[in-house]
Amino acid sequence: MAGSSLRVVCGPTAAGKSAVAVWLAERHRAAIVSADSRQVYRGFDIGTAKPTAADRARVPHYGVDVLDPTARYSAAAWAADVERWLAEIAHAGRTPLIVGGTGFYLRALFGTMFDGPPLDDARRRDLGEFFGGFSVSELRRWCRMLDPERAHLGRTQLLRAVEVALLTGHRLSDLHRRHPRPARWRARYLLVDPGPALGARIEARVDAMLAAGWLDEVRALVETVPGAAPAWKASGYGALRAVAAGEESPARARERVIVETRQYAKRQRTWFRHQLAGSDVTPLDPSRPDWRDRAEAWWQGGEEA
């Protein structure tokens, strides 16, 4: 199926991607494939804005709740799983719709990737524990020394670049250039972004998550999930863990989560602006009254795919 085209609904966190995607999927008998590196972990539900049970009942979802919180997962592994999910979706007579804002997942599926070097699991686990308490700025300082080309990325990518450099003696950015693997798919992007209203949407969603019991979720997870588990890296969970431990007030944690989420959204916007340049991209402001007409026009524009 090399060269085939897939529809993708993407955009920064809290932009409204899920509502647009579910609406489209219901109209066109589609199944949603989540491209969200946080939603793959079981039990981490409220803080990752997983699709609700009602949404999953309306539309089949893939890529959600596929891993235990302690499991490690890569963009390449996700892309390999997508190949299997696409086959299942085709067998069910549905159309796939990729939905999410994790840029390196999308790049794994639609951009040139590489076959990563094998890493010793024990040494990698030790590094994960060592760097687990580091802030993003501290990780970025390490990355500037070890692989400066990747120092602008987010926490997960920074940690990946640092561990590859330390465990292999090679920069991840160099490995990408030396061992490229061509993409199997092309993408048609619907880029959902409400513009200046995103900040207020982020704040409102954080408040809704807290009201829905996010702190109780974290308190329950602390009892069973080790502190170094990869799932804890999801935005906001560190702040809520501090509240659960009595080290942070709920009010200060709320502000910290909002700031972290806005910073994450800014990085996502930067990624989309640079990485999707020259691609087939249709912008969509979900706050416009005609967003449904525009989303439907985008969908119909890909009927030849």
pLDDT digits (tens, 9 = 90+) for 129-153: 888 888 889 999 999 999 999 998 8
Mean pLDDT of 6-25: 97
Give yes or no: residues 187 and 278 share one domain: yes
pLDDT tens readout for residues 204-231: 999 999 999 999 999 999 999 999 999 9
Give the whole-angstrom CA distance, residue 42 versus residue 56: 15
In this predicted structure, which of 60-64, 168-172, 293-297 has the lowest mean pLDDT?
168-172
Q: 203 and 103 in one domain?
A: yes
Burial classification of residue 95, based on how many CB atoms lie within 10 Å of its CB (0-12 exposed, 13-18 middle, 19 or more buried): middle
pLDDT, average across residues 233-242: 95
Same domain, yes or no: 294 and 203: yes
Q: Would you put residue 82 in left (φ > 0), alpha (ψ -120 to 50) or beta?
A: alpha
Mean pLDDT of the chain: 91
Give the pLDDT score at 209. Answer: 98
User: What are the distances in angstroms from CA 164 to CA 124, 158, 268?
Assistant: 9, 10, 23
CATH number, domain at 24? 3.40.50.300
pLDDT at 2: 43
Q: Which of 165, 181, 197 is the last residue of a domain?
A: 181
Check which CATH number belongs to the domain holding 174 and give it.
1.10.20.140
Residue 262 in any domain: the answer is yes
Residues 75-126: tens digit of each pLDDT: 889 999 999 999 999 999 999 999 999 998 998 898 754 556 677 778 888 8
pLDDT band at 277; cut points 50, 70, 90: confident
One domain for residues 200 and 294: yes
Q: How many CB atoms lie within 10 A of CB 146?
A: 18
Question: What is the spatial distance between Cα 213 and Cα 218, in angstroms, rounded to a whole number?
Answer: 9
Picking from 207, 5, 14, the residue whose alpha carbon sits closest to that of residue 98 is: 5
Domain range enclosing 103: 4-111+183-300
Same domain for 106 and 212? yes
Q: Which two tokens stand for residue 265?
A: 């959204």
Do 21 and 169 lie in one domain? The reply is: no
Residue 127, CA atoms < 13 Å, CB-side half-sphere: 19
Domain count, the chain: 2
The pLDDT confidence band at residue 304, using thresholds 50, 70 and 90, is very low
Q: Among residues of the chain, what percentage have pLDDT more than 90?
A: 72
Query: Given 133, 152, 181, which residue is the final one in a domain?
Result: 181
d(CA 105, CA 252) in angstroms, rounded, equals: 32
Domain boundary among 161, 181, 201: 181
Q: Would 305 be classed as within a structural domain?
A: no
- pLDDT reading at 182 higher than 80: no
**What backbone phi and psi angles, to 5 degrees, belong to 293?**
-60, -40
In angstroms, the CA 91 to CA 233 distance is: 35
State mean pLDDT over 282-292. Answer: 97
**Looking at the domain assignment, is residue 89 inside a domain?**
yes
For residue 87, the model assigns a pLDDT of: 96
Q: What is the pLDDT of residue 5?
A: 87
The answer to whether position 276 is within a domain reads yes
